Amino acid sequence: MSAGTPWEVIEIPALGGRVRGLVAHGVRVFRGLRYAQPPAGPLRWAPPQSLASRPATVDATAFGPDAPQDASNAGFAGTRSDGQSEDCLCLNIWSPARAEALPVMVWIHGGGFVGGSGSNITFDGCRLAALGVVVVTINYRCGVFGYLCHPELAAQSDRGVSGNFGLLDQLAALQWVRDHIADFGGDPGNITAFGESAGATSISHLLTSPLARGLIDKAILQSPGPMRGLMPHAEAAERGAALGSLETLRSLSAAELVALNERLVSGFRKVVGPRALGPVLDGWVLPAQDWEAYARNEVLAVPLLLGCNGDEGELFARHRPLRTVERFHAYIEACFGDRTRDALTHYGVDADSGITPAVSRLFGDTQFVYGTRGVARAMSRLQPRTFLYWFDARRAGQSASPTHGDELPYVFGTLDEPLYGQAEPYGQEDRAMSDMVMTAWTSFARTGEPDLPACRWPAVGANDLCVVLSEQIEIRAFPRTAALDFLDQVLGPRAS
């Protein structure tokens, strides 16, 4: 709904008392509901703790604070929160009026594990809720608050590990939804976790976590980054220790801690290899690499819808410091070693188009497209209701394929409030595409199968079948086959 929507204040019986929210055009919204205690003070770098008590009437008319982060993070753009705080573990709910036992869709935002906001205006759940679902968006700890590994933290833990606090927050939010969503008209037995980028990657990893059992019934992964390998806890803890003692880190302000993110996240790193600030292989939350979990059938084999955009890497290629062919070839060699010549057959520079498209293909394939196909193949062996998409809807007047994040306004029907400011307006074809995507996503949440107006969406199967969401809806094999087969050879065992 637009900023000028005439909201009315309502109260409903919920959470053992009453909750004050807002309603307009048949959709109720409840903002800033806490799902855990503030992870501040002694609870900084601790697993989320259940709320000890609630007031008799909970005011849910304003969005809660966002997780501390650099405000330049693209996932933070468009937030409707009034500010940032370590007291950030809150969620928002959109529910049709008089809803009862409706499918629930829980959105986990992206932001590179260092930022993002569940209050982003692009992620407004009104239009999805109007299609007969309950929509929940959450905040969770990011950056050093959510993923710091440190030997002193591990020594204090009864599990002997640290890090993955952001994933534990997501699990706590999912548990809260399971326990309380019936108060808001949702079906606690039909919960779909959906997310994009780091949010989708988080869900992908949670599917391999024993702690997520019973919390996710279906999943939608938009441009996830799985099958890339998790950094072992010991290595991540060494890097965390290099930031200083735990006493020193606890004495720092939130702003000072946010500034430490860039010491753990290189602005320019190899495209093959784990990251130091994000989910880690800790033996508890995440006991195995994802490809190992799939091989051993130690995953939540739930119905799965996943896919990528036509040019995932373009958003990042704009900022890669590779401006000459020589530098790019050196970078390829650093990543692929003795397979450099083979890599250049897929990621070589075309004399006519220049370096940027080559960097885009390399980054998009290694960070998103490769893992998406890998998870689809692996899950399809365990769960027949596994569905792939390739989003290639091009806006009127634009010849380029959509890049990372461009599908988000289509999924939420918020074409009037895009995540990244766009010069060209959306047209009627875009709105028709948005309607189709929203219908497919909500029907999947309802039944475990996405609906298309003109044909049946095929399961992945042995031929890597996917639906191309473009000007013409097509069913064909997932793109980039030769390049992805090459990455299968050089990145070691994944889902095979």
Active-site positions read: 197, 312, 404
Angle at 435 between CA 61 and CA 378, to 5 degrees: 95
Residue 128 and residue 96: Cα distance in Å, rounded? 10
CB 380 within 8 A of CB 386: yes
CB 407 within 8 A of CB 110: no
| Cα torsion 157, 159, 161, 162: sign | negative
Tell me whether residue 269 is exposed, middle or buried, using C-beta atoms within 10 angstroms of its C-beta: 0 to 12, 13 to 18, 19 or more.
exposed
Residue 89 and residue 68: Cα distance in Å, rounded? 11
Q: Please name the residues in contact with 350: beta carbons below 8 A apart, sequence gap of 6 or more.
A: 357, 358
Residue 185 and residue 97: Cα distance in Å, rounded? 8
Instruction: Give the pair of three-digit tokens for residue 252.
Output: 């720092």
Question: Residue 329 in 3-state DSSP?
Answer: helix
Question: Residue 318 in 3-state DSSP?
Answer: coil
> Which DSSP category does 490 fall into?
H
What type of residue is 347? Y
Q: Which helix (H) or strand (E) holds 19?
A: strand 17-24
Residue 305 and residue 219: Cα distance in Å, rounded? 6
Q: Per-residue DSSP letters for 144-175?
A: HHHH---HHHHHHSTTS----HHHHHHHHHHH
Across-strand partners of 28? Answer: 23, 95
Residue 223 and residue 312: Cα distance in Å, rounded? 8
